Amino acid sequence: MSLVLGLRRIASRQTVWTCRRMNSTAAETCEIDVLGTKYTPDAWTNATPSILDKAGRNLLHHESHPLSILKTLIFNEFPNFAHYDTLGPVVTTQQNFDSLGFAEDHPGRARTDTYYLNASHLLRTHTSAHQLQLLAAAHTNDNSVLVHAKNAQVAPNNERFLVAADVFRRDEIDASHYPVFHQMEGVCTLSHADVQKLAPSTPDDIVDIGPENPVQPGHTAEDVHKVAADMKRTMNRMVTRILTQATAAQRDAGSEATEFPVRWIPAYFPFTSPSWEMEVLFRGEWLEICGCGVMQQSILQNAHANDRIGWAFGFGLERLAMLLFSIPDIRLFWSTDPRFSNQFAPAQISSFRPFSKHPPCPKDVSFWISPDHSFHDNDLMDLVRDVAGDLAQDVKLVDEFVHPKTGRASRCYRINYCSMDRNVTHAEINDIQDRVRSRLVSEFGVTLR
């Protein structure tokens, strides 16, 4: 019988990273358990315990949470779509990138941008990772996928669906960026007969289509204009209704707008063409709502639905929720403080009332980057999040230079530590800062200054 000589566990709410050595000469073997499924780490692995800890928090299922309230409002605007909000966060590189036409050298594939469990599995970076999976599931009758559908009876073949889910990206630390956020994905596919039944395009439906934003081979310009107009009308209706509810909730503040100018900016996405970004004038500022466009026909072809044409959109829920609920810091969405959670009620948009204001505690860290180690800003962001958690309010690069003789690069970052619900002490923050500095040396080979 084998003897376990060594066992290391890094545990979080939903994740356990276990390493074992079966005998004195055997190599150590590790596995990551995410929501009950085990993955073998390798050279691509960069998902940290603090990030994996967020998997399974299910903020979208807490009916009084602002993100859940917004999700439900959007679901209600699409009564003839199947609704998905329980799809797991781990996907394959094929689902997240290959199926959507991402080039091999696309920056989104880089370890500096994406959280990998190993070379073949990652934490999804967008809800679009499920497009092909859901379209194909209807053809193959894959009940392991279809069982997640709500409202399935209105779109039994997943010809129309919404996906709401958490997504994960390595990112900077500030009041509007967080490595885990939530997206809403919408897909609508149409048969040729469906397209012919669409209402004719009007001057208000016209969007830029041309050489820089082209119609795909195999699509006719007439069909694309009709499909794009259908998408545009649908999106305009959804946004107007949600923003109207928001302004109605804040009418006491003198905001009574019921019309919201929209502009459509030509854009590029690997999985749609032509493509646009939708922006809405809200409270005097142009707000980027979503990216959208006509689906790449190759996705439908791979889903055995090449006789259909489709449009799709996707956007982040946090950005819109922060505006609708007047939430100033994205970290608050993850707060378990009842002073935050008790302010909100299901199906209601209301303004957040600040319950505390604590001063930040700034700390600087300066170092020379080792020529033997790669280093990216996001490496520091993840390290700080792993050590400090949500005490890290923001991290900013305040100085950098290259030594004229040695060619070595130096950087100085300012880390602002600030709790959202209590005062922090210098002794507490000094301990955290010391651990950040120590791990910078041990993990990235920097020379502290």
pLDDT in tens, 67-120: 999 999 999 999 999 999 999 999 999 999 999 999 999 999 999 999 999 999
**0.85 exceeded by the pTM?**
yes
| 3 state DSSP class of 426 | helix
Find out whether 343 and 350 touch, Cβ atoms under 8 Å: yes
Q: What tens digit of pLDDT does each residue of 13-60 get?
A: 455 566 665 555 556 678 999 999 999 999 999 999 899 999 989 999
Tokens 């002794």 locate to 427
Q: What angle do CA 75, 79, 85 make, to 5 degrees?
A: 35
| φ and ψ of 269, to 5 deg | -135, 140
Q: How many CB atoms lie within 10 A of CB 1?
A: 2
Q: How far is residue 347 CA from its own chain's centroid?
A: 23
| 3 state DSSP class of 213 | strand
The count of residues in the chain is: 449
pLDDT of residue 255: 53
Q: Which residues contact 227 (CB under 8 A, 6 or more apart)?
A: 190, 195, 198, 294, 309, 310, 311
Tokens 């204009």 locate to 225
Residue 383 pLDDT greater than 60, yes or no? yes
Q: How many CB atoms lie within 10 A of CB 344?
A: 18
Tokens 């809200």 locate to 282
Bridge partners of residue 413, in order along the sequence: 365, 397
Query: CB-side exposure of 440: number of CA atoms within 13 Å?
Result: 27
